[in-house]
Structure formats: C-alpha cells, structure tokens
Structure 1
Amino acid sequence: MAHPVQLLVIDPQNDFCDLPTAWQPPHPLTGARLAPALPVAGAHADMQRLAAWISTQGAAIDAITITLDTHQRHDIAHPNFWCNAQGAEVAPFTPITASQVRAGTYRPRHANSLPDVLAYLDALEQQGRYTHMVWPVHCEIGHWGHNIHASVAAACGAWQIQHQRAVTHILKGMNPATEHYSALQAEVPDATDAHTQLNTHLLAALDSAQVLLVAGEASSHCVRATTEHLVQHLPRQRPERIVLLTDCMSPVTGFEAQHTAFLAEMQARGVQLACSSQIRL
C-alpha cells in the first residue's frame, strides 16, 4: 500500500534526550532519578517541537515509522565489554582502533573474542564512516531509557486513534558484536544475522512515500547513517522527496562538525532541509 506522506523518526528515546529533572522518574528500587544515559543537548526541545508538529499536521501524515536503538548490557559499544592494558574498564567516550587493540592498549574482556573484534574493527575502519566509540550503557531493552520521549509517544498515540492505523516500530542494535547506527543496516553486517543486514522490507515501505520526512536523534550518528543509507538504497531513488526536519534533530556534543557536514552533503545530493514550522501538509 502506498503512503504518500510518511514520517520517519530515528531513536526518539529517553536516553538520548536532555530531559529536565521533572521528566526523570524515580527508580523503583533505589529511589534515585532515572537520568538519560547519553543525553543530546537540545534533544528534549527537538522532540517537543516534533510532537507539536505531529499534533497539528497528523491528519495529513499517512504513515509513521519509529526506530529504536536497542541494546543489552553486553555490547561492543559499552564500557563493560572492554578493558585497558591494566585490566580496568574503559571509560565512556573512548574511541578504539584496531591498531590500539593489536598494541594491547585496549582489549575485549573475553580473550576468545579478540579475533572477531579485530575483524570487526578492521572492517569498520576500512569503510571510513566511523571510528569505533565506547558509549555509556544506553537504550537497554526493557529499561526506561529505551522508551520513547513522552511527548512524541503521546502525539503518535493520538495519530493512531485518528487514523486507526498503527505506528511501525523498528528495533536496531540487538546484535552485541556490531554497531548499528543506521536503521537500515548495521555498520558491519553479520552474515549469520539477518537483522544486521540491509532491511529491504523497511526500504520498500519507505519507498512508497512521495514525501518522506525525517527527524530524531542524533543528527551526527543515527539520523545521519540512516539518511545516508536511504539516499543510497531507496529503490526509486529521488532523494528530493526526503525532507530533514532540522529543528527536530541535534548532534552529540563534540560532533557538531559531523552534523554540519551531513546536512551539507545531503542537501548537495538533493535532500531537502526545512524547519518543522515551514512544513504545512
């Protein structure tokens, strides 16, 4: 079924939003507030703008797809997977290269995984898209941080009632051996795991759009990787039908240059850039 106007929301999750204290509930076991694990500066306001836009323009939106970064505690991008030469856990926001692992600066905690880890890092670096990064433990499946920002969830719930149609949810990142920024394909696909390979079913669904609006977090990583794969793999191509809602996305702190380069590259390839306030469907 064709859906002429579609909205793709990349990872609008609590762990990526700089939520104010009032939005952070107490942990039921400890009573401590559940703070976002990897907050992106500006993301809370991004998601509030997106929710408001969905609420006002929802009647004209034919389909909504939400992707969810989905990890377990054990993951190649989490600190507990790694240790340094002294055996101590590696700190979040540590980039790790294959040469550092070969030199013994960093190593996986399970020595038996070393060959696979090196093969992964070599493949990742050969692509030239990203250097492997150790992130704080984030978006654990079943945890509060994995949940969708409350404003976006409420707006999408109202849209479902209005249209009598479900939102499509796409989980990505469950394979602990590869990073999965893009909603369409892991950074290094695993030949034995179909969930890491190119998601042709999702591509076909998005390809039915005449207008495909994209929002979410973070513009320096998951929005960027997904949009790049959209431009590369949409069967009917025509990147001009993709619209990036630039006031509904923000970069990870320290990766602002990647955000700027991403927007410039996509615009050069025909993708449209617009603020949500400019889009009236």
Structure 2
Amino acid sequence: MDTGLTLLVIDPQNDFMDMPGAALPVAGAKADMARLAAFIDQAQSRIDAICVTLDTHHSVGIERPAMWVQGDGRDVAPFTQVSSADVRAGKYRPRRDGDLPRVLAYLDALEAGGRYSLMVWPVHCEVGTWGHNVEDELRAAYNRWEAARLVPVRHVMKGMNAWTENYSALQAEVPDAEDPETQLNTRLVAQLDRASTIAIAGEASSHCVRATTEHLVQHMPSRNAGKIVLLQDCMSPVAGFEAQAGEFLDAMRRKGVRVTTTAGLLRDVDA
C-alpha cells in the first residue's frame, strides 16, 4: 500500500550538532536541523510517516579509543585510521591481547567490503546521555506533527553491537552472524519502499546518511531509486570528508535519486 511521503531522518542527535558539549560536531548540522524542522511544520499535512534513526553506542567498542593502543602501549587518539596492515605491522593493537584474532578478522572483512576503513571516533551517542538525544528544535517539530496527525514517529536504534560499525541504519558494515540486529533490516526497507516518496535528511552526508541511502537503493524491493529524495540543505559532511559527501551525491544522482532542497520538495508536495 502506498503511504505517500515518508521522511527518513538519519541520526539528528546532539552529539552531531555544532554546538557546545557535542562530542562529534558536524559543521552546519544545527542549521540543517532548523531547516528540517521548518519543513516539517510547513509540510505537516503532506508528510505521512516520519522515521528517525538514532546512533546508539556503548562507551567501548571496536571504533572507540578504549579498544586501541599504539605498538608502544600509548593510547590511540580519536580520528586515527586503523588498517589491518597497521595491526599486522604492530603499529596499533587491541588493548586486550586476546581480541587480536577477532579484530583482524573484522578489519579484513571491513576492508574487503570497500566502503570504509576503521576510524577511531570520539565516544559519541552513548546510550542514556544528552548526546544521544534528538536535537531540540527538530524534536519539537516532529512532536507537533505527531499531535496533528496522531501518528507516532518511528525511532530506529543502530550501533549497539560493540564488534562492528553501523553507519547505515539498515545493516552493519560487517554483519555479525550471531546478532540479527546487525543483519539487513528487511522489514524497515520494505516499509520505506511502500512510500511513493522517501525524503532523506540528517547527519552526516559523508557517513551515516550516505551508508543508509546506499543500502536502501541496493536493497529496496521496487528497485525504484527515483522515489528517493535527498534534502541537500538538511545534511552536512564530517570535516575532512567533504569530497566523499560530494562523491556520494553524484553517485546517487547517476542512480536516479533526486537531490534537492526543502524548498524544492515543498514546491512538489504543494503542486
């Protein structure tokens, strides 16, 4: 059944906002959320469903500083990239020696996938913290939508498995055979695909928006990438990854995904 316009908001959380206290601020994110909140208010009666994904982590994990030390035992700083070759050469190693086989197997599988290399990120979006919460202005806007439509926003958490990265809201980068939560979320993919238009926004265009959109295009049953709309004025890249964000948008355009702004989508829904 066609559900009209679905808004998919990727990880609109405090720790990604460019404001004091954020653990992993993305320049422009706060303004992105203000524009998205305004869009929700303006298009309130035309939005049929809203799905919000939440990056959800422990303080320790394979991409957290606590996991890693340098070869000489010193701590590994956030924003350090770690490759399987680095680990085999002794440049970096897991803090707990017994984790080495599992870590190497993970890095080999991650690199074979060709999407990402392991990055040691600052601790962010730890479950139960302020940083995990949705940015206030956006949350207030979708609360108003809920009250007007009497339909709850769907919240989807990702990232609780400490042994794999989960940029995408649909599947971990290296699925864990023993953890169904890391496998492709076929139910969510199917639900999104029932919409005639899937508008995507959130943070960051270089990572989690990118990974989620790529998986959606790859796995949606209809194979109709033309129903996906990326709201370019409601997403920004992580600093230093601007080129990757640009490559992502170009690649999606080639697959038929529309890249526009909230103003452009508003013109469409009002037509």
TM-score surpassing 0.5? yes
Corresponding position of 1:87: 73
Corresponding position of 2:12: 12
Corresponding position of 1:29: none
Q: State how far apart, in whole Å, the 1-side matches of 2:214 and 2:24 are.
A: 23
Corresponding position of 1:215: 201
User: 244, 258, 268: which one pairs with 2:254?
Assistant: 268
Corresponding position of 2:236: 250
State yes or no: 1:76 paired with 2:62: yes
Q: State how far apart, in whole Å, the 1-side matches of 2:74 and 2:41 are.
A: 48
C-alpha deviation, 1:64, in angstroms: 0.3
Q: State how far apart, in whole Å, the 1-side matches of 2:95 and 2:56 are.
A: 22
- Kindly provide the amino acid, as one letter, of the partner of residue 92 in structure 2: Y
Q: State how far apart, in whole Å, the 1-side matches of 2:44 and 2:51 are.
A: 13
User: 34, 38, 44: which one pairs with 1:58?
Assistant: 44
Q: State how far apart, in whole Å, the 2-side matches of 1:262 and 1:2 are.
A: 28
- Where in structure 2 are the equivalents of 1:151-166 lying within 5 Å? 151-166=137-152
- Kindly provide the amino acid, as one letter, of the partner of residue 18 in structure 2: D
Corresponding position of 2:211: 225
Q: State how far apart, in whole Å, the 2-side matches of 1:55 and 1:136 are.
A: 34
Instruction: Identify which range, 82-91 or 222-231, moves more after superposition.
Output: 82-91
Corresponding position of 1:126: 112
Corresponding position of 1:30: none
Q: State how far apart, in whole Å, the 2-side matches of 1:8 and 1:58 are.
A: 14
For structure 1, the 5+ residue unaligned runs are 22-34
Q: State how far apart, in whole Å, the 2-side matches of 1:90 and 1:12 are.
A: 28
Q: State how far apart, in whole Å, the 2-side matches of 1:209 and 1:238 are.
A: 11
Corresponding position of 1:108: 94
C-alpha deviation, 1:113, in angstroms: 1.0
Superimposed CA distance per residue, residues 45-97 of structure 1 (whole angstroms, 9 cap, x where no aligned partner): 00010001101111100000000000000111111111111212110000000
- Kindly provide the amino acid, as one letter, of the partner of residue 212 in structure 2: T
Superimposed CA distance per residue, residues 11-34 of structure 1 (whole angstroms, 9 cap, x where no aligned partner): 000000102x5xxxxxxxxxxxxx
Corresponding position of 1:24: none
Corresponding position of 1:136: 122
SS of 1:6's partner is strand
User: 85, 91, 101: which one pairs with 1:99?
Assistant: 85
SS of 2:157's partner is strand
Aligned length in residues: 267
Q: State how far apart, in whole Å, the 2-side matches of 1:264 and 1:90 are.
A: 34
Q: State how far apart, in whole Å, the 2-side matches of 1:193 and 1:111 are.
A: 24
State yes or no: 1:192 paired with 2:178: yes
Q: State how far apart, in whole Å, the 2-side matches of 1:3 and 1:89 are.
A: 50
Q: State how far apart, in whole Å, the 2-side matches of 1:211 and 1:2 are.
A: 9
Superimposed CA distance per residue, residues 191-213 of structure 1 (whole angstroms, 9 cap, x where no aligned partner): 00000000011011101100000
Q: State how far apart, in whole Å, the 1-side matches of 2:45 and 2:263 are.
A: 16
Superimposed CA distance per residue, residues 200-241 of structure 1 (whole angstroms, 9 cap, x where no aligned partner): 110111011000000000000000000000100001111000
- Kindly provide the amino acid, as one letter, of the partner of residue 202 in structure 1: L
SS of 1:279's partner is helix
Q: State how far apart, in whole Å, the 2-side matches of 1:131 and 1:74 are.
A: 18
Q: State how far apart, in whole Å, the 2-side matches of 1:79 and 1:163 are.
A: 43
Q: State how far apart, in whole Å, the 1-side matches of 2:2 and 2:18 are.
A: 36
C-alpha deviation, 1:182, in angstroms: 0.3
State yes or no: 1:183 paired with 2:169: yes
- Kindly provide the amino acid, as one letter, of the partner of residue 78 in structure 1: R
C-alpha deviation, 1:104, in angstroms: 1.0
C-alpha deviation, 1:151, in angstroms: 0.6
State yes or no: 1:239 paired with 2:240: no
- Kindly provide the amino acid, as one letter, of the partner of residue 257 in structure 2: V
State yes or no: 1:201 paired with 2:187: yes
